[in-house]
Amino acid sequence: MSLKQSEDQSGEVSYESQSNRLMMKIRKFNPRKIFTWQLAKTLAMGQGLAVLICGTAISSQYLTTNYHVNTPMLQSLLNYALLCLTYVTMLLFRRGDGNIFQILKKRWWKYLLLGFVDVEANYTVVKAYQYTTLTSVQLLDCFVVPVLMILSWWVLKSRYTPVHYVAVCVCLLGVGTMVGADLLAGRDQGSSSNVLLGDGLVLLSATLYAVSNVCQEYTVKNLSRVEFLGMIGLFGTVISTVQMVILERSEVMNIRWSWEVGLLFSAFALCLYTLYSCMSIVVRLSSATSVNLSLLTADLFSLFSGLFLFQYNFSGLYLVSLVVILIGFIMYNAVPTPTAADPVCSSSSIEEEQCDDLAASQNEMTTQVIVLEITNQEREGDEKECHIDEETDDGWKDKRRKKKRGQSFGEENNDVFFCTKM
């Protein structure tokens, strides 16, 4: 009976301690620490990238539906050519290791593989629409987020807390709400000739995008943003040109050029060029996973634009989906993502109280060390002063002895004493 009572009492004490900790955390909660200017800036820049993706989707859809132009490689080639023209020119004027010739000499094969991955990621997702439905593309395209988290954990040594996993699940729930709204509105467009092939292409595209984004984050944070964009533009231009000649030569020759078609091509290229240029900035400020979570709202912006341009049917679930995705994005960015090289207190396994106790103990230790150093210095100073005082005392004693000797000598021989004094 006594053992059971002790166990019950220990359980009550642990429950009370947990509840007290929870109440302390609730009292210490400060919304200003979460809703910071940095979070607002990251959210605004992420949604700006989503608007740029919306611009590429609208211009591409206009080319397909109104002018029967289906040339994804030609459209990507224009983007890579703009990147090459801008950033390779900047690399040409750099000196030292940042010069383009030094970069190509050391890492040309790495950027060749990265350019191939990026080009094929753009191509496979466009190709998937020919075999599967829009709903499948929207759902399976979210596969890029878990792949990104795995690669970031492995390559970039990122460490995620439970809050990050919950935030990702909330964002994916918002995507599911958007897909449900599409089904209710009758927007399950696309072909279903070979659904298995189309779904495989979407998963392949998501994996390739994840690899490209992780490489981008590593490059812009450790090397140079201009270097990444210049090399992607250079090798992307070469690969896109070769692939376009092989796969889209007949489609490009059959294009009926007009000022409307040229304007749509220009709009697509400028939106994608701005997306690549600005995305590297946002990735450097946050992370590739955070950017891709914010890009989940791009389909919603395309839907809202399609309400006026393509007469889509509206559903209230679209707004619910937008709010849910933004809540998940805010949750993800409200908690910093530690790395394996961070100190122990940044890990999620140690609570705030333990970190505070550890910091307090460290402060006490440093204080004790400082006090010991001060006392040692004071002791050394006192010893020096004592030594100096002893020397001065000895000197005064010697002087007094000499004086006494002189006085006694003068008393005995007054004549000699005064003669020497004169």
- Whether the predicted model's global pTM rises above the 0.75 cut: no
From CA 111, how far away is CA 233, in angstroms rounded?
10
Closest Cα partner for 255 from 82, 75, 131, 76? Answer: 75
Bridge partners of 158? 339
Confidence of residue 353 (pLDDT cuts 50, 70, 90): very low
Residues whose CB falls within 8 Å of the CB of residue 45, separated by 6 or more in sequence, listed in order: 278, 281, 282, 285
Alpha helix positions (H), 29-161: 31-34, 37-67, 72-83, 89-92, 100-128, 134-140, 144-154
Question: How does pLDDT run across 38-49, given as a tens digit for each residue?
Answer: 888 888 999 999
Task: Return mean pLDDT, the chain.
Answer: 78
Cα angle value 94/97/102 (rounded, 5°): 90
Residue listed under structure tokens 């010739």:
101
Confidence of residue 226 (pLDDT cuts 50, 70, 90): very high
From CA 138, how far away is CA 198, in angstroms rounded?
12
pLDDT of residue 76: 92
From CA 183, how far away is CA 180, in angstroms rounded?
5
Question: How does pLDDT run across 253-303, given as a tens digit for each residue?
Answer: 999 999 999 999 999 999 999 999 999 999 998 889 999 998 999 888 888
Residue type, 117: V
